[in-house]
A and B are shown apart, each in its own frame.
Chain A
Amino acid sequence: SAVISQKPSRDICQRGTSLTIQCQVDSQVTMMFWYRQQPGQSLTLIATANQGSEATYESGFVIDKFPISRPNLTFSTLTVSNMSPEDSSIYLCSAGTSVETQYFGPGTRLLVL
């Protein structure tokens, strides 16, 4: 198994600003993912964070809005850029040795005013 931690756990931000969320895994993992969970909705995959290369983004998500870094096998960041109230959501990091065995972080609750 893997233990995932995220920072910050929550934040309130002003529109137009950016927030970087950190995800730390307690062991080396192959796969790391970033999800968004909007109020009353399901988890939506934003991107797969690839170690040492550009992330793989899902339809509807772009690098300019959600830049992702993954410098090594245990750490990744997601930045929410130029935020608007529509970006208010829970952002989840997950990681694991395969897509089928993902362990989830506690989430970052973001409110944009």
Chain B
Amino acid sequence: AQRVTQPEKLLSVFKGAPVELKCNYSYSGSPELFWYVQYSRQRLQLLLRHISRESIKGFTADLNKGETSFHLKKPFAQEEDSAMYYCALLTGGGNKLTFGTGTQLKVEL
């Protein structure tokens, strides 16, 4: 079955601390993965995709096929990083996105 798992509903860290938002996937083919973010009172938006191998707002995510993971990381959390983060997998033969249940990141001062 094609599935995205985000084990943490809420992650609370202090400002300046490292952040790791976990995402694991189940997919039989070659996976394409994404991270979406929703800030308070804003709409859902794409943060990054694994094939771009880029760093956005200090966040990076590496696809680990052996562990079937795509964890989102940032070395030093900022207050403005507080948001809901969703991991998503391209499924259905590339015709749709399957989303995880999301992790609420709270950065405390």
A residues with CB within 8 A of B: 4, 33, 41-45, 48, 58, 92, 99-107
Contacts and interface: CB of A to CB of B under 8 A. Distances in A.
Contacts of A33: 96
B102 A107 contact: no
B63 to A, nearest CB: 15
A43 B96 contact: no
Interface SS, B side: strand
A48 B93 CA distance: 14
A95 B64 CA distance: 29
Contact of B44 (A58, A92, A101): A92
Interface residues of B, number: 18
Given A100-B34, A101-B46, A102-B97, A42 B86 contact: yes
Interface string B58-99: 000000000000000000000000000010001000111111
